[in-house]
């Protein structure tokens, strides 16, 4: 067996030495499998380890690359096994040694990316924004859902509320820019879904703030179909924002058959709100980062690679991107009247 092949299969669960409750075993390359017994760790043991000072090159058994699973105090066995399988594929393709870990929070994962103690990870939208702001990681792939790598939202109002619609429903496109369309909401009262939702509050509110359009104190009505219901009812708020198209939520159409006629789309937020982002630590050398991006591109283009990534992170379809893809999202997030850093551990 060559030295490179031995490196490619030098693969073990980092938790075996970091999480006291996790014990890993693995077979030889000839067996073509990696197995582990994975009891659930406690929250106190689900910490990313601090890097051990070493002069060994990154990617060697003495200084392995770290593949981080999504944060969890007690990662499910199937996710751990899928993470190990994904790391094994990366090892086979690159010759580098990889270990797998599961941090207990996105905040700690972002910190680990900055320390060079995590090298490949998948981040939520708010966690990606923090990693970008701190200069800890760079975007490599965007998660895709329903064939799209981002989604939008829509500003809605009653047809008799006196607002002008700048959305052509037949062509499914806006007929004016954001500043023009949204200026009519100045000093009007919005209905938001909740304080966490990117589409139901944070990004639309950021757009209003970015364009210097102040509004009256809002009503948070808990749920985007509820926003559509409140706008339909009238008297609660002047306008609202929902995902596209919350008006067609089955219970709403059943209760209010004329809701599409009575509640109009005034303007649609373009598809700028991302799903998860696969990132690489900026502590990686340019050559190593390029190698990993190329290997990831190949693996995510193959069924076997998509399958294990889907099991590990909940998303099978990915598209290569750069940080530039997130420019609009980051712009309006920064302008939003909310401490978005506090939302990182929330699940929209």
Tens digits of residue pLDDT in 54-65: 678 999 999 999
Residue of 284, 244, 286 whose CA lies nearest to 265 = 244
- Higher-pLDDT residue of 20 and 214 is 214
State the pLDDT at residue 51.
53
| Count of domains observed in the chain | 2
| pLDDT at residue 192 tops 90 | yes
Q: pLDDT tens digit string along 167-177?
A: 999 999 999 99
Q: What is the pLDDT of residue 76?
A: 78
Residue 323 lies in a domain: yes
173 SS3 class = strand
Q: Do 207 and 180 lie in a common domain?
A: yes
In terms of residues, how long is the chain?
A: 348
What is the CATH number for 194? Answer: 3.40.190.10
The arithmetic mean of pLDDT across residues 14-29, rounded, is 30
Query: Which are the contacts of 299, defined by CB distance < 8 A and separation ≥ 6?
Result: 86, 89, 90, 93, 305, 309
User: Whole-structure pTM over 0.75, yes or no?
Assistant: yes
Q: 75 falls in which pLDDT band (50, 70, 90)? A: low
23: pLDDT strictly greater than 60: no
271: phi then psi, degrees, rounded to nearest 5 = -75, 85
**Angle at the Cα of 282 (from 24 to 120), degrees rounded to 5?**
30
Q: What is the pLDDT of residues 299-311, one digit of tens each?
A: 999 999 999 999 9
At 52 the pLDDT is: 58
Reported for 224-229, long-range contacts at CB under 8 A and 24+ positions apart, including other chains, are: 224/193, 224/197, 224/199, 224/200, 225/249, 225/251, 225/252, 226/193, 227/156, 227/191, 227/192, 227/193, 227/200, 228/156, 228/252, 228/259, 228/263, 229/255, 229/256
Last residue of a domain, one of 247, 273, 299: 273
For the chain, report the end-to-end CA distance as a whole number of angstroms. 49
Residues 23 and 141 in one domain: yes
pLDDT given for residue 5 in this prediction = 35
Q: Look at 77 and 32; give whichever has higher pLDDT.
A: 77
Q: What is the mean pLDDT of the chain?
A: 86
Q: Determine contact, residues 275/142, Cβ cutoff 8 Å.
A: yes
pLDDT at 7 over 90: no
- Whether 242 and 166 share a structural domain: yes
Cα(127)–Cα(109) distance, rounded to whole angstroms? Answer: 9
Does 143 have pLDDT greater than 90? yes
Q: Using a pLDDT cut of 90, give the percent of the chain over it.
A: 79
Q: Which domain holds residue 162?
A: 150-273
Q: What is the DSSP string of 55-69?
A: -SPTTBTTB-EEEEP
Asked if residue 339 is part of any domain, the answer here is no
Q: What is the mean pLDDT of residues 124-149?
A: 97
């Amino acid at each position: 067996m060559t030295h490179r092949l031995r490196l490619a299969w030098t693969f073990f669960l980092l938790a075996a030495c970091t999480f006291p409750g996790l014990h890993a075993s693995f077979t030889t390359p000839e067996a073509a499998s990696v197995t582990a017994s994975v009891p659930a760790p406690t929250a106190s043991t689900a910490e990313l380890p601090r890097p051990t000072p070493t002069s060994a090159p990154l990617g060697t058994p003495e200084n392995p690359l770290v593949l981080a699973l999504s944060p969890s105090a007690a990662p499910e066995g199937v996710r751990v096994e899928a993470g190990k399988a994904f790391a094994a594929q990366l090892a086979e393709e690159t010759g580098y040694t990889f270990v797998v870990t599961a941090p207990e929070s996105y905040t700690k994962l972002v910190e680990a990316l900055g320390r060079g103690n995590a090298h490949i990870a998948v981040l939520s939208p708010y966690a990606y924004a923090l990693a970008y702001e701190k200069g800890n990681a760079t975007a490599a792939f965007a998660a895709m859902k329903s064939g799209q790598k981002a989604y939008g939202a829509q500003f809605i109002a009653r047809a008799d509320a006196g607002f002008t619609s700048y959305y052509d429903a037949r062509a499914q496109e806006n007929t004016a820019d954001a500043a023009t369309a949204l200026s009519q909401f100045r000093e009007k009262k919005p209905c938001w879904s909740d304080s966490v939702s990117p589409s139901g509050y944070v990004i639309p509110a950021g757009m209003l703030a970015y364009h210097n359009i102040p509004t009256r104190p809002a009503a948070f009505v808990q749920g985007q179909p509820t926003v559509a219901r409140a706008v339909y009812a009238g008297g609660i708020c002047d306008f609202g924002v929902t995902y596209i198209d919350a008006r067609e939520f089955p219970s709403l159409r059943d209760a209010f058959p004329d809701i599409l006629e009575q509640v109009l789309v005034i303007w649609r937020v373009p598809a700028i709100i991302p799903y998860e982002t696969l990132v690489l630590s900026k502590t990686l050398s340019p050559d190593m980062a390029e190698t990993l991006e190329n290997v990831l591109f190949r693996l995510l283009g193959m069924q076997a690679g998509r399958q294990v990534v889907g099991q590990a992170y909940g998303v099978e379809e990915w598209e290569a991107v750069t940080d530039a893809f997130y420019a609009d999202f980051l712009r309006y997030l920064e302008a939003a009247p909310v401490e978005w850093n506090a939302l990182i551990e929330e699940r929209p």
